[in-house]
């Protein structure tokens, strides 16, 4: 970073810190909301204009998807007077004076500030990196999709498509290497896509559209978003990004599909013809705060109202790391993660209806505060910033194994705002990356793997 940019960086830290301190001292939801929007805009300029962080890097994905879980409640408050609008958790959710809203917003500003300050770009983006031939990437995509449906059919999970999405999701999550194969295949297919080879390209795209339609049908909006981000990451990994009206149109179309999927999933009879009727009678479904983008603030409020705490500092980190090791030895000895303890205390009905993956998400802010206290929680954001900067710079300089690691991490960075900090996942995913990279290298060497420096 140049000396001029370093000055901008320190000016950003000073001004944002003073404004955040002002927000904390005043304690007004309106003031906190306005200061948050200003700080978010300022962080956006520092990250993308001054530091020139790549928009689809891990650092960028974290910054965007962490902040969106606060941005939506803040916009909700400014427009509607309430941070979130859904009523499924009214028994435990209560913030009439907006005390928790102010605390949550201020904590987000501190965490985001620490992250924006620490991230850095050291290497220019390298568009000529490791590559997989289009035909092989297409085979990965098609085979993995077929294997997914076959596995669900053979295990009986397909019967739950319209009855119990939680158990279906649990079944899908279990097929990890099929999922890895799909993610890698999609990324490199989009990287090497070539419509001069129309047959293989069309077959692959049609297969993807069928799979995405299935995910939307059963309400797995998050999984669809993950696939879209992986597709965009692959496509622009060797092309400069140029945003125009077509991209905005696609985003709006996907947003409408997500809303329709949310409504359809909520209907007990799963009658698609009733979706439009429900939207007319309940326009709040168009509010992103009524779906998962209000989850982080909601869970922070529920935990605060009920004095939920961890048993000791860093508990969720230690339990995850320990369970990560034990899972390779004897999974039955795994300790219950405090995030699941929270779910079972306040949302047991979600577990009973949807299995171990049922619930209302969680909150990265809540997890960081309970692990490190409200005075030191920002250290977790510093750690994430160092980690993402390291991986991004390794990809830019070397590519290869770090690019595969990046692909496997994308799902967790998209959902990180409504989850805990998955330290063990970063470790296990790197182990999986090594295994997958070795297998890919052995396979592709036999098929004239092209290496680009």
Closest CA to 65 of 358, 422, 429, 410: 410
Q: What is the largest CA-CA distance in the chain?
A: 65
Are 191 and 256 contained in the same domain?
yes
From the number of C-beta atoms within 10 Å of its C-beta (0-12, 13-18, 19+), residue 373 rates as: exposed
State the average pLDDT over residues 248-273: 67
Query: Number of structural domains, the chain?
Result: 2
Residue where the block lists tokens 């992986």: 230
Dihedral (Cα; 105, 318, 380, 31), 10-degree rounding: 10
Are 277 and 422 contained in the same domain?
no
Are 119 and 145 contained in the same domain?
no
User: Do 418 and 221 meet the contact criterion of CB atoms below 8 Å apart?
Assistant: no
pLDDT: is 369 or 154 the higher one? Answer: 369
Are 268 and 300 contained in the same domain?
no
Q: pLDDT digit string (tens) for 170-202?
A: 555 555 678 888 999 999 999 988 777 778 888
Residue 380 has pLDDT above 70, yes or no: yes
Are 120 and 140 contained in the same domain?
no
Question: Residue 378 sits in which domain range?
Answer: 3-126+289-441
Q: pLDDT digit string (tens) for 442-453?
A: 877 765 544 443
Which of residues 288, 312, 345 is at a domain's end? Answer: 288
| Cβ atoms < 10 Å from Cβ of 194 | 9
**Amino acid 20: pLDDT:** 92
As a three-state string, the secondary structure of 74-98 is HHHHHHHCCCCCCCCCCCCCCCCCC
**Amino acid 212: pLDDT:** 87
**Amino acid 449: pLDDT:** 44
Are 92 and 201 contained in the same domain?
no
Are 298 and 405 contained in the same domain?
yes
Dihedral (Cα; 44, 46, 51, 54), 10-degree rounding: 0
**Amino acid 106: pLDDT:** 95
Does 453 reside within a domain? no
User: Do 362 and 419 meet the contact criterion of CB atoms below 8 Å apart?
Assistant: yes
Q: Any idea what DSSP says for residue 176?
A: H
| Cβ atoms < 10 Å from Cβ of 309 | 11
Does 397 reside within a domain? yes
Are 423 and 405 contained in the same domain?
yes
Are 315 and 204 contained in the same domain?
no
Count of H helices and E strands in the chain? 19, 0
Are 46 and 141 contained in the same domain?
no
Closest CA to 363 of 289, 290, 296: 296
Does 228 reside within a domain? yes
Are 190 and 75 contained in the same domain?
no
Does 8 reside within a domain? yes
């Amino acid at each position: 970073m140049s000396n001029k940019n370093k000055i901008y960086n320190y000016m950003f830290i000073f001004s944002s810190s003073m404004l955040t301190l002002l927000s904390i001292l005043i304690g007004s939801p309106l003031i906190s909301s306005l200061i948050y929007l200003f700080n978010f805009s300022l962080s956006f300029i520092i990250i993308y204009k001054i530091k020139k962080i790549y928009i689809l890097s891990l650092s960028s994905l974290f910054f965007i998807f962490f902040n969106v879980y606060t941005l939506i409640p803040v916009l909700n408050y400014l427009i509607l007077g309430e941070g979130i609008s859904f009523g499924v958790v009214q028994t435990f959710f209560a913030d009439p004076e907006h005390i928790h809203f102010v605390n949550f917003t201020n904590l987000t500003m501190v965490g985001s500030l620490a992250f924006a300050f620490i991230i850095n770009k050291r290497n220019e983006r390298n568009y000529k990196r490791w590559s997989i031939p289009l035909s092989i990437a297409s085979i990965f995509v098609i085979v993995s999709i077929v294997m997914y449906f076959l596995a669900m059919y053979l295990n009986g999970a397909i019967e739950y498509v319209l009855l119990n999405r939680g158990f279906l999701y649990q079944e899908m999550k279990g097929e990890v290497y099929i999922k890895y194969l799909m993610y890698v295949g999609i990324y490199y297919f989009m990287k090497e896509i070539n419509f001069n080879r129309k047959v293989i390209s069309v077959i692959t795209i049609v297969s993807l559209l069928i799979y995405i339609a299935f995910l939307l049908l059963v309400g797995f909006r998050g999984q669809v978003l993950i696939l879209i981000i992986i597709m965009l990451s692959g496509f622009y990994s060797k092309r400069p990004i140029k945003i125009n009206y077509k991209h905005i149109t696609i985003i709006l179309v996907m947003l409408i599909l997500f809303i329709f999927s949310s409504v359809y999933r909520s209907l007990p009879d799963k009658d698609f013809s009733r979706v439009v009727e429900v939207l007319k009678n309940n326009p709040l479904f168009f509010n992103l705060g009524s779906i998962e983008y209000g989850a982080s603030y909601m869970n922070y409020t529920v935990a605060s109202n009920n004095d939920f705490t961890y048993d000791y500092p860093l508990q969720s980190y230690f339990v995850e790391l320990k369970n990560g090791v034990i899972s390779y030895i004897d999974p039955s000895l795994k300790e219950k993660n405090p995030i699941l303890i929270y779910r079972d205390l306040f949302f047991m009905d979600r577990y009973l209806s949807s299995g171990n993956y049922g619930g209302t998400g969680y909150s990265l802010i809540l997890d960081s505060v309970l692990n490190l206290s409200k005075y030191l929680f920002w250290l977790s954001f510093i750690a994430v910033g160092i980690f993402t900067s390291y991986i991004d710079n390794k990809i830019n300089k070397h590519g290869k194994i770090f690019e595969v690691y990046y692909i496997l991490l994308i799902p967790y960075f998209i959902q990180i705002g409504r989850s805990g900090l998955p330290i063990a996942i970063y470790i296990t995913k790197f182990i999986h990356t090594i295994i997958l990279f070795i297998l890919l290298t052995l396979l592709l060497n036999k098929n004239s793997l092209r290496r680009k420096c």
